[in-house]
Amino acid sequence: MASISADFRALVHFETDLWNQVERRLRAVDRAVSLGRHRILELAAVDGSSTRVQDIADDLLITVGAASRLTDRLEADGLVSRAPHPTDRRGSIIVPTDSGRHALETTTPAIDTALESILGADGAAALATIADLLRKTSSTSETAR
């Protein structure tokens, strides 16, 4: 039986390898953005969104400073803009621009296609099962924190 640390290494290796394979395929798609940028655009594009830099930091499990720098880069590339927060005059919300929405519309199906190609039908089904287990485990560990 494998040790828990060996299982952890296998999980991290699988995630890193899968991420890298998807990233390589995205580079070949015109107007697609990286997985990290895609996630920020997803957060900003939620209908009626009031996505703040803090929300990005919380979702990506990074510092507010790192989330702010990522947002600055997307803003410099014309993918998002900052708008005044409707209820907190000290803050701002992150809003996708037309270019950002187009990048999201291009990248989302490209990610799905890449994953289906890499994993195949059985792998995609296994990934869905693993992801469900990870979501349950993650919510348990968040409660413990």
Sketch the domain layout of the chain as residue ranges.
22-144
Cα 92 to the center of its chain, rounded Å: 20
What's the pLDDT tens digit per position in 96-121?
999 999 999 999 999 999 999 999 98
- The single residue listed with the structure tokens 């990074």 is 62
Give pLDDT, residue 33. 97
Hey, what CATH topology would domain 22-144 get?
Answer: Arc Repressor Mutant, subunit A (1.10.10)
With a threshold of 0.85, does the pTM exceed it? no
pLDDT, greater one: 88 or 40: 40
Gap between the Cα atoms of 40 and 71, Å rounded: 8
